[in-house]
Structure 1
């Protein structure tokens, strides 16, 4: 009885109906676009870029993702696929040196027009039972869906796209590579941080304390440890210290190039801003606790 009641309620719930409708629309669109060699996601990107470009603009990848309502990382993969297919090109953005401008090729523009025509015909077909794409019932449906989409509140049942666990896992993975190089050099992470601070120029005990503060644990004698290892004299690195730090820097730079080298610059800049904001919020929250 209870199971039957739950199924009956679910079958008529708004969420269930919207989900069924979206699945049916996606499947119908994929079938209609297949002869053009496009998926619905690829169409969404091409059509969005076509719309943004009609005014003569050259949107960035981030702007296109926002306009299309797609996740930036998903858009990055789609853009690479469409670029490989010769449908769009990427070039330096005229207004933002960190971004890339997207432009449809002649082939891409022609395909976008044909795909848009195909989807418009599909819309007429799928809304025929409520009077067609321009009927009052269809316009009322669009107004209702627009209101729901503009709500902007992430349901509590949905996990955020990025969590602290994601950040910690990535940090642990990259930190393990640094620790590997430090073990080979017989250095600890606090010693490495202190060496980097000393290499920046004149430093005081307070400067070293500030640099080491984010690292858990007491670090009262890191400078003394470096001095006993012959890597520092006073608050300066010795020639041996500078040589060791240069080697470590070269090794970690190579790690960074391997990990980050082919990632999209716009996504990297977005990630940097997000992590900076997360760090700032965490510190402010910690100060209140």
Structure 2
């Protein structure tokens, strides 16, 4: 009996994301940072600065894996700002960016999580990882487009 189910499904992606999130939560459990704070610092470092902080708020609230409402995204950013790890994050402020202290914390947390990241991804074929990246980006784009059409 042949199956008409695709080889890769949303369930597969969700299970992988859940396993990676659980691993990240475990690695960060001995620190003073949450996974959402770590991820947000990475977003600020890699995608920032954001001239319009509203774009950052909307991006974070749209990331379902973070499980943030718009108010939750604002609260998360305000907490990072209060801790001196980010600045300009309030709507109407800007530019939203990571601070030197935030970069130092991100570096420390990245060093903490890097060994596990290497264990998970290190021996996977780089071409396979590049293909997975392209496929997942296309899946996300198609899902967003279909949702917008509904």
TM-score (norm 2): 0.72
Matching of residues 94-133 of structure 1 within 5 Å: none
Contact conserved, 1:197 with 1:211, CA < 8 A, in 2? no
Gaps of 5+ in 1: 1-14, 16-154
Superposed CA RMSD: 2.5
Structure 2 residue aligned with 1:202: 49
Matching of residues 136-147 of structure 1 within 5 Å: none
Post-superposition shift, 1:249?
1.7
**Cα deviation digits, residues 214-263 of structure 1 (max 9, x gap):** 24332122221112223234444444322211011223333221111111
Runs of 4+ in structure 1 deviating by more than 6 angstroms, as ranges, are: none
Structure 2 residue aligned with 1:85: none
Alpha-carbon distance between aligned partners in 2 of 1:267 and 1:202, rounded to the nearest angstrom: 31
Structure 2 residue aligned with 1:232: 86
How many equivalent pairs are there? Answer: 135
Structure 2 residue aligned with 1:279: 140
Greater relative contact order (CA < 8 Å, ≥ 6 in sequence): 2
Alignment counterpart, residue 33 of structure 2, candidates 187, 190, 199: 187
1:247 partnered with 2:94 = no
Post-superposition shift, 1:210?
4.0
Gaps of 5+ in 2: 89-95
Compare CA radii of gyration and give the structure with the larger one: 1
Alpha-carbon distance between aligned partners in 2 of 1:167 and 1:237, rounded to the nearest angstrom: 29
Of 186-195 and 271-280, deviating more is 186-195
1:220 partnered with 2:81 = no
**Cα deviation digits, residues 15-56 of structure 1 (max 9, x gap):** 9xxxxxxxxxxxxxxxxxxxxxxxxxxxxxxxxxxxxxxxxx
**Cα deviation digits, residues 128-178 of structure 1 (max 9, x gap):** xxxxxxxxxxxxxxxxxxxxxxxxxxx6x4432222221111111112122
TM-score (norm 1): 0.41
Judged with a 3 Å threshold, the aligned counterparts in structure 2 of structure 1 residues 164 and 186 are, in CA distance, closer, same or farther, namely: same
1:165 partnered with 2:11 = yes
Structure 2 residue aligned with 1:263: 124
Contact conserved, 2:49 with 2:98, CA < 8 A, in 1? no
**Cα deviation digits, residues 58-99 of structure 1 (max 9, x gap):** xxxxxxxxxxxxxxxxxxxxxxxxxxxxxxxxxxxxxxxxxx
